[in-house]
Amino acid sequence: MVTAAPQDQWRLLDVQAHDTRLSQIAHRRRALPAHGAVQEMRTAVARIGDRLVAARTTTADLERELSKAENDVEQVRRRAERTRSRLEAGQGSAKDLQAMQHELDSLAQRQGVLEEAQLEVMERLESSQGTVARLEAEREQTAAELERASAGLERELADLDSQAQAQSNAREDAVAGIPEDLRALYEKVREQAGGTGAARLHQRRCEGCRLELNPTDLARFRQAPPDAVLRCEECRRILVRTPESGL
């Protein structure tokens, strides 16, 4: 059985208080709302980026389509100009001239169709370019919000890290001088009992599991020497006796 001077057992409560605070800080660090906000913004930036890539691809395709449409119109226009020049020069027989006039009429119709198609592509391209501009602005704004949120998160984490370091330093001071066997027992119990290795015995109640000791255990504890390290029969945590223990 592990034994230790009462003052060394009392120091376990200080160590436990620091360990509890360290656990709380670690939990708070993991549960900061800013973690979720930053992740949501990262996801939003990525999604906007995907939409922007698709919009830019569509715009590039439409630019090529418009270039082809412009070339098609230009080819028809040049051919019409050549035919019109020949017609105006009166080159060829009457039949040839009639054929050239018919060709001009056909080319005019063809040019009209192509120009209408060109206009439709231009409108689609303008809309796509507007989408690209809107997504670029949206991504820039969201990225700026992400940067601000990330900076805020880093500040919160740095503050918690500072608190944790202060608690760790204080814990080192509290644990110094505690006998090695008592310290080892405390660490073992703390690992097994979910982070709480030592608890006060207060008003006949274990403050670890919050259960009141039965008469048999109370009688045994009353008879235990001051240096005996007591254990709660329910949760197996180290029980530290104080003037308020009710023994």
pLDDT at position 136 is 97
Cα–Cα distance measured from residue 218 to residue 206, given in angstroms and rounded to the nearest whole number: 11
Q: Give the alpha-carbon dihedral of 167, 172, 177, 181, to 10 degrees.
A: 90
Fold of 32-175: Helix Hairpins (1.10.287)
Q: What does DSSP assign to residue 93?
A: -
Q: Which residues contact 118 (CB under 8 A, 6 or more apart)?
A: 66, 69, 70, 72, 73
Where the chain has pLDDT below 70, the residues are none
Q: Show me where the domains of the chain are located.
A: 6-26+179-241, 32-175
The pLDDT tens digits of the residues spanning 29-57 come to: 999 999 999 999 999 999 999 999 999 99
The pLDDT tens digits of the residues spanning 176-214 come to: 989 999 999 999 999 999 999 999 999 999 999 999 999
SS3 (DSSP) at 225? coil
Token look-up 């670690």 returns: 26
pLDDT at position 83 is 81
Cα–Cα distance measured from residue 75 to residue 71, given in angstroms and rounded to the nearest whole number: 6
